[in-house]
Structure 1
Amino acid sequence: MLKLIKNGEIYSPKYLGKKDILLTGDKIGYIDDCINIPDDFLDIQIIDAAESLVTPGFIDGHVHITGGGGEGGFKTRTPEIQLSDITKGGVTTVIGVLGTDGTTRTMSNLLAKAYALEEEGISCYVLTGSYQVPVRTVTGSIQDDIILIDKIIGVGEVALSDHRSSQPTMEDIAKIAAEARVGGILSGKAGIVNIHMGDGHRNISFIQEIIEKTEIPPRQFVLTHILRNPELFKISIDYARSGGLVDFTTSTAGSSDEKELTPGKALKVMLEEGVNIENITFTSDGQGSLPIFDEQKRYVGLGVGKVTSLYTAVREAILSEKVAIEDALRVITLNPANNYMLKSKGSIEVGKDADIVLLNKEDLNINTVMAKGKVMYQNGEVRVKGTFE
């Protein structure tokens, strides 16, 4: 069936004005000021978007699709994510990661879940490895994983400056990045290394040293959780201003400092400090455990990341911090698509995947979510549920 989205104001995320969008199967087929369909053309669904802003489907680049955690024992291992936990947040593409646990959570499990989410209707990719170094891969090689397995597009999340990390050296991280880079070059993939930043005193020193002493470019890394403490955030501003990629986590359960500096506020600060919007992304850390540790690094509690926090943070940036809509949307659409070389994602253009979100003009709440041309969520109702929901 064809679908025609009529009279919506399009943010591609660049503002395109009021236009119609014709979806042909799972692709965007045509965009024009006014698309007219003959009255006797029966096999088409018309969606009135006159009171809506039309945006690309959101990309969440850091989701624990198989669950995460376990820092408080086996009972604190969070469960696998369900399809509607993703789509009701406007997310149509996810990148799955492991995390602290690379033993009971495996790459085979991660890949199987990615294929399952694809079968249920959204797009899903994964990163190879977990917190641990040496990186635990599928084939035994980072480079081989990226080249030979279609869903694997990079490495991560590898932990640095964290009491849960494997305490890798600078040379360890440089070798990981080098192998990921070559794997990406040979396969036409990003080969990005996702770095989990802890709150240790070393901060991002290893990454800075690699960039200074080797030929590996800054964009080979994306540093996530950079709102963990004020010092890390301050250092990350300079890093991003010099061309590095930084990522704000929208699910939080950390220090009071972290809660005070929301992703929306942090985005505004970075833009005011001269950071290029292209170097910033938001991710949810969805379905991951968000453990709370005391000053002696003892486990005292646990939260669970929510994919729905992703757009909540973007909406807050627009409404509360007055960040331009185009800039706020970029951090969950075009920027992650560019960083991870997802060529059919991230913008509303002819030929790209029909991943579309409709936002109510009045309050910017999510009204409709379409993944590859199929309506997954509409008017507060989940239209397509996961197999076990």
Structure 2
Amino acid sequence: MIASYELVFVNFHAEWCPFSQQLSPIFKVSDNILSQEFSVESKRVLLGRVDCDANPNLSNRYQIMKYPTLKFFLNGKLMKKEYRGQRTQTSIVKHMKQLLTDPVVHIEYNNYSDLSAIIHPKYNIFRKVAADLRGFCEFFWVTNSTFLTSNKTEIIAFKSSKSTQQSEYDFIYETYDEFSSWSTYLCTPIVREITFENAEEIIEEKLPLVILFHISSDYKSSEIFKEVVHKELISATTKVNFVTADAKLFDHPLHHINKTKKDLPLIAIDSFKHIYLFPKFEDLNKTGILANFIEDLNSGKLHHDYHFGTEEQTTKSNSIQINDIKEKDEEVDKTQTEEYEESEDDFTEELLKPVADSVFKKLAPSESRYTILKDEL
């Protein structure tokens, strides 16, 4: 049935969940409103509900970890973004109408307008992919362009939002799968910018965050970070998420690890248990150093060092204790010796003190909005 409709909105819920109970009448009213505007015969929109207790296989297939979880299917394909907006009929209906609008911006040159987009054999493919990637890329269909050379009748161009140059490609698609694969690669960045709007969905992926904290106008550090990730760390994207964070927005995490804007740019890993600081941003030009830092996370070394100190720190601390004890006069009384040893224990504890506990974990789906089934963060 999902494949038969352009847009399907599914409410994965549980009857006993209070948030699901609150949403139920709102969801039904939203369904009624949309049904009046879009007839069943049009096959444009459908709202459905899945009781996850009664349908555990569906719940497992779509990895439902909280109630209610609201997912979209567009042209039979699960959309990347869930609905995380306000649970009101006004917000739900407005969002769904927006998803049903044409995602392609049409540009006609020379004040000449025709039906070239509609009748072009590839336009439907272009529009479907644009709908899939709504929110990731903007898609423009340009006709009667003066930029086409005499030997080309069509081109595909891509421009990053922070680039002044566009790249043109000889690739000309013939099928939906071809164009979808190509566009998804370009439009879904390996390094994402984390904001308060998308933090919940990124953190819900349950992959530790490798974070570049920087000033938003500092494009150079961001480009260096992205270049290292693309050159050396593509294989690591199954184990961590790479993100950049505007230090102005996320000043609290910086204060939490005793850093200020003067220390920027800096890199840290938030494992959702602890935050680990990458030693020096300047060291990124050394091949493999960030990869080794991430490997230390995956092997548990960073976690061990967080609680017990590095091998170098432990050796240094023990050496200080042994040397100083030997230099102590043998006539020091027992009380003074005990006091000394206690002070050295305090020194060791300070030396091995961890940086900070996780901050970004607090931006995960909230128990004030969802019934969380299993919190693995």
TM-score by length of 1: 0.23
- Which structure's CA Rg is the greater one? 2
The structure where strand makes up a greater share of residues is 1
The structure where helix makes up a greater share of residues is 2
TM-score by length of 2: 0.23
